[in-house]
Structure 1
Amino acid sequence: MLLEKIASKKSVIGILGLGYVGIPLALRFSEAGFRVLGFDIDGDRVANLNSGRSPIKHIPGAEIASMVAGGFSATADFARIPEVDAIIICVPTPLSRHREPDLSFIVSTMETIAPHLRAGQILSLESTTWPGTTEEVLRPFVDKRGLTIGEDFFLVYSPEREDPGNPNFTTRTIPKVVGGATPACRVAGEALYGVVIDRVVPVSSTQAAELTKLLENIHRSVNIGLVNEMKIIADRMGIDIYEVIDAAATKPFGFTPYYPGPGLGGHCIPIDPFYLTWKAREYGLSTHFIELAGEINRDMPEWVVTKITDALNDRQKSLKGSRILALGIAYKRDVDDMRESPSVLVMEILRDRGALVDYSDPNVPVFPKMREHKFDLKSVDLTPDVLTSYDAVVLLTDHSDFDYEAIAQYAQLLIDTRGKYRNGNEKVVKA
Structure 2
Amino acid sequence: MKDVAVIGLGRVGLPLALAFADAGLEVIGVDIDPARIGALREGLMPFEEPGAQEVLDRVAGRLELAEHAADAHRARHIVLTLGTPAMSHIEIDLRQIRAVLDDLLPHLREGHALHLRSTIAPNTTHFVAGYLRKHRGFDIGTDVFVAHVPERIASARFFEEISTLPCIVGGVGERSGEVAAELFERLGAPIVQTTPVQAELAKIWTNILRYTTFALPNLLMVDCEQYDANVFEVIDLINRDYPRGGMRLPGLTAGTCLRKDFAFSEERSNAPGMLLAVSRVNESVPLFLVQGLKRRVGSLEGRKVAVLGLAFKSDTDDERDSLSYKLIRMLERELADVAIHDPRVPTPTQSLEDAVADADAVVVATNHPEFCTPEALGQIVDGARTDALLVDPWNCWGAATVFAHTDEVVVLAGLGAR
TM-score, normalised with respect to structure 2: 0.89
Q: In 2 relative to 1, CA 50–168 (structure 1 residues): closer, same or farther, beyond 3 Å?
A: closer
SS in 1 for 2:197: helix
Q: Which runs of 5+ in 2 are unaligned?
A: 413-418
- Other-structure match for 2:58: 66
1:305 counterpart = 2:290:
yes
8 A contact 1:324–1:394 mirrored in 2: yes
1:176 counterpart = 2:149:
no
8 A contact 1:163–1:169 mirrored in 2: no
Write the letter of the residue equivalent to 1:254: R
1:41 counterpart = 2:26:
no
8 A contact 1:174–1:197 mirrored in 2: no
Instruction: Quote the offset at 1:291 in angstroms.
Output: 2.2
Q: 2:390 aligns with which of 414, 417, 423?
A: 414
Aligned length: 398
Rounded Cα–Cα distance in structure 2 between residues aligned with 1:220 and 1:413: 30
1:38-187 aligned at under 5 Å gives the runs: 38-59=29-50, 60-69=52-61, 71-166=62-157, 169-187=160-178
SS in 2 for 1:12: strand
SS in 2 for 1:219: helix
Instruction: Quote the offset at 1:37 in angstroms.
Output: 0.6
Rounded Cα–Cα distance in structure 2 between residues aligned with 1:82 and 1:211: 29
Rounded Cα–Cα distance in structure 2 between residues aligned with 1:174 and 1:56: 23
- Other-structure match for 2:254: 265
SS in 2 for 1:260: coil
Rounded Cα–Cα distance in structure 2 between residues aligned with 1:257 and 1:25: 33
Rounded Cα–Cα distance in structure 1 between residues aligned with 2:129 and 2:282: 32
SS in 2 for 1:195: helix
8 A contact 1:114–1:142 mirrored in 2: no
TM-score, normalised with respect to structure 1: 0.86
Instruction: Quote the offset at 1:62 in angstroms.
Output: 3.1
Rounded Cα–Cα distance in structure 1 between residues aligned with 2:246 and 2:381: 30
Q: In 2 relative to 1, CA 337–182 (structure 1 residues): closer, same or farther, beyond 3 Å?
A: same
1:243 counterpart = 2:241:
no
8 A contact 2:306–2:355 mirrored in 1: no
Q: In 2 relative to 1, CA 115–250 (structure 1 residues): closer, same or farther, beyond 3 Å?
A: farther
SS in 1 for 2:169: strand
Instruction: Quote the offset at 1:11 in angstroms.
Output: 5.6
Q: Which runs of 5+ in 1 are unaligned?
A: 1-9, 367-377
Q: In 2 relative to 1, CA 107–239 (structure 1 residues): closer, same or farther, beyond 3 Å?
A: same
Q: 2:317 aligns with which of 336, 344, 356?
A: 336
Deviations 1:338-364 (A, max 9, x none): 111011110111112322222100012
Q: In 2 relative to 1, CA 35–249 (structure 1 residues): closer, same or farther, beyond 3 Å?
A: farther
SS in 1 for 2:284: helix
Rounded Cα–Cα distance in structure 1 between residues aligned with 2:351 and 2:132: 51
1:400 counterpart = 2:376:
no
Write the letter of the residue equivalent to 1:364: V
Instruction: Quote the offset at 1:329 in angstroms.
Output: 0.7
RMSD over aligned CA atoms reads 2.2
SS in 2 for 1:306: helix
Rounded Cα–Cα distance in structure 2 between residues aligned with 1:95 and 1:338: 18
8 A contact 1:174–1:199 mirrored in 2: yes
8 A contact 2:358–2:383 mirrored in 1: no
- Other-structure match for 1:4: none
1:228 counterpart = 2:198:
no
8 A contact 2:45–2:53 mirrored in 1: yes
8 A contact 1:81–1:116 mirrored in 2: no
1:353 counterpart = 2:334:
yes
8 A contact 1:51–1:65 mirrored in 2: no
Rounded Cα–Cα distance in structure 2 between residues aligned with 1:144 and 1:168: 38
1:22 counterpart = 2:13:
yes
